[in-house]
Homo-oligomer: A and B are copies of this chain.
Amino acid sequence: MGTLERKARERVSRENLILDAAEEVFFSHGFDQSTMDDVAKAAELSKGSLYNYFKNKNELCIGIVGRSLRLMIQYLEKALPENCSGLNKIHGMAKGFLLFKQENPEYYCALQNYKHHSGGCGADSKFLNLSIDENCYINGLVEKFVKEGISDGSIKKSIIPEKAANAIWGEFNGAIPGFDLNTNSAEAYEYAVELIINGLKKA
C-alpha cells in the first residue's frame, strides 16, 4: 500500500507551501520584521502547525536557503557553455552566479543569512543538511571542471583540484562585497573573477 509514500509526498508538499508563505513574508518585510503569525496567516495554517513542520524560525530560514541554493544551481548549470574548456566552464559558473544574484536579490540575501541561522536549528536539521548537500554539490562541480581543465590543458598542472574548488567557490561567494564600497558591485565581482581565472590559466 502506497499510503506511507503518499503521506511523505504530502508532507513535503506542505513544507513547500509553508516555505512559499515564509518567502512571501520574509522577502517583503525582512526576516527580523516578520513574525511566525504572519507566516502562519500567509500559509493559511495555525501557528502550531508551522511547528509541526519546522523546528523554529531559524529552520524556516534555512529551508529558504536550501531553495535558494537549488535555484542557484540551475543558474550555474544553465550558464555552462557547451563544448568548451574546463577553465571556460568555471568562468561560466561565475557568470551564472552573478546572474542569479542580480535576478534574485532576495534569494541571494537569504543565502547570506545562512551563518546567522544555521546554528539555531540544530545539527540534525533535515533542512540544514539539505543545504549542506547542495553546497557540496556545487563544490563538486567546480572540482570536476578544474580536473577537466587540467586534462584539456586550459588550467595549470600545478593546481590541486580539491583545494582549488574550495578556494574558487569561496572566492566567488566572498567577492561580492559585504561592505558597500563606492564601486559597482557587479563590476567588482567580474574583476575578482578575472583575477581568479588568471591565477588558474596556463601561461
Query: Could you tell me which A residues sit within 8 Å of B by CB distance?
Result: 30, 32, 112-116, 119-120, 131-132, 135-136, 139, 159-160, 162-164, 166-181, 183, 187-188, 191-192, 194-200, 203
Cross-chain contact B171 with A192 (CB below 8 angstroms): yes
Partner of A115, one of B164, B178, B195, B197: B178
Cross-chain contact B191 with A164 (CB below 8 angstroms): yes
Could you say which of A131, A176, A192, A203 has the most chain B C-beta atoms within 10 Å of its C-beta? A192
Q: Would you list 17 pairs from A and B whose C-beta atoms are within 8 A, ordered by A residue?
A: A32-B120, A113-B116, A116-B116, A132-B180, A139-B181, A159-B195, A163-B188, A166-B191, A167-B195, A169-B177, A170-B174, A170-B177, A171-B171, A195-B199, A195-B200, A197-B199, A198-B199
Interface SS majority for chain A = helix
